[in-house]
Amino acid sequence: MTIRTLHKWLSIIIGIQVLIWVLSGSIISLLDQDTVQGRSTYNAMPPVSAIGASPVLFDITELALPANTELQSVRLARVGNKLNYLLDSSVGTLVFNAYTGEAFGVSEAQAQQTALKSYKGTGNWVSNEYFAKGSEELVAKHGHTPQWRIEFDDSINTRVFVSGIDGRVLAHRNCYSQIVDFLLMLHFMDYADEHSFNNLQVRVVAFAALWLAISGLLLVQSSFSRRDFGLKTRTKH
């Protein structure tokens, strides 16, 4: 089989995916990453305030933990103006008021206020929605943890995600974030939505693409003549 036939057959078999790679790659490169990643609407939050001189803390041994919870850490920090215990545990993050020991919940009003503070875009607030099992948009990074989604009516459809556990801002996302997620899925051939580029199909096609590129370069080398560059062909003296 000649190099030319190999190049032709590889392009017949994987040409469409090569087009998808180059097209999705170009679009991602052309889209402004500050917008895609929500940095263009994100207003840096003020540094966390100090714990301060505290009155008596609630006894951590008395906290109402689910049975058989194993703890990895207990962090004392302010969330907004409240002092809380944030526990990393075998059942995820648990948050309690550090004075009363009450379980801490992020109210709709708090989530909305946090989202508004973190937003510097030009839109107005539209709506709040609670996702007890997390939003599909954040599942790769934050799993199925509870989240609030606060939507704004700017031109890029910004939505701010606030953690339903500790009330911090998880992400600013917009229509471009969604487009890039889709393009990356195509780029990684991640049709099963595993958020991975280590799948079998992409490995096989990438291997074929490697040979498409090698054969292509060999053809470039063999198919150019001096005439292509306006030079005379070498003549014997």
Partner 1 sequence: MKASRLSQKLHKWLGLIVGVQLLIWTVSGFYMVLMDIDMIHGDHLVAEQDNGIDLSPEIQKVLNSVVSTSPKATSITLTRLMGRPSILVKQPYQTEVFDAHTGELIPAVDEAQANQLATSYYTGSSAIASTTLLTKNPPSEIGGRALPLWRVNFDDAWGTTFYISPITGELSTRRHTLWRVFDFVWMLHIMDYDERENVNNKILRTVSILALLLVLTGIWYLYFRLDVRGWLRRSSS
Per-residue 3-state assignment (H helix, E strand, C coil) for 38-91: CCCCECCCCCCCCCCCCCCCCCHHHCCCCCCCCEEEEEEEEECCEEEEEEEECC
We find the least distance from the C-beta atom of residue 25 to partner 1, in angstroms, to be 5
Q: In the complex with partner 1, which residue's Cβ is closer, 127 or 211? A: 211
Interface with partner 1 includes 2 (CB under 8 A)? Answer: no
Question: Which residues, in sequence order, are bridge partners of residue 160?
Answer: 150, 172
Interface with partner 1 includes 223 (CB under 8 A)? Answer: yes
**CA dist., res. 152 & res. 159, Å (int):** 6
Q: Which residues of 101-139 are buried (b: 16+ CB within 10 A; e: fewer)?
A: eeebebeeebbbebbeebbebeeeeeebeebeebbebbe
Is residue 48 a contact partner of residue 90, using CB atoms and an 8 Å limit? no
Stretch that binds partner 1, among 110-118, 119-127, 133-141, 213-221 (CB under 8 A): 213-221
Interface with partner 1 includes 23 (CB under 8 A)? Answer: yes
Residue 138 half-sphere exposure toward CB, CA atoms < 13 A: 24
Report the residue from 94, 115, 162, 209 that binds partner 1 according to the rule CB under 8 A. 209
Interface with partner 1 includes 214 (CB under 8 A)? Answer: yes
Stretch that binds partner 1, among 28-36, 111-119, 151-159, 169-177 (CB under 8 A): 28-36
We find the least distance from the C-beta atom of residue 34 to partner 1, in angstroms, to be 9
Question: Per CB under 8 A, which of residues 39..68 are in contact with partner 1?
Answer: 47-54, 56-57, 59-61
Q: Smallest Cα–Cα separation from 128: which of 94, 159, 85, 91?
A: 159
Interface with partner 1 includes 217 (CB under 8 A)? Answer: yes
Report the residue from 76, 126, 140, 192 that binds partner 1 according to the rule CB under 8 A. 76
We find the least distance from the C-beta atom of residue 189 to partner 1, in angstroms, to be 9
Stretch that binds partner 1, among 14-22, 118-126, 135-143, 164-172 (CB under 8 A): 14-22
**CA dist., res. 178 & res. 37, Å (int):** 10
Interface with partner 1 includes 192 (CB under 8 A)? Answer: no
95: helix, coil or strand? strand
Q: Smallest Cα–Cα separation from 74: which of 98, 103, 100, 47?
A: 98
User: Which positions lie near partner 1, rule CB under 8 A?
Assistant: 8, 11-12, 15, 18-19, 21-23, 25-26, 28-33, 47-54, 56-57, 59-61, 70-78, 188, 196-199, 202-203, 206-207, 209-210, 212-214, 216-217, 219-220, 223-224
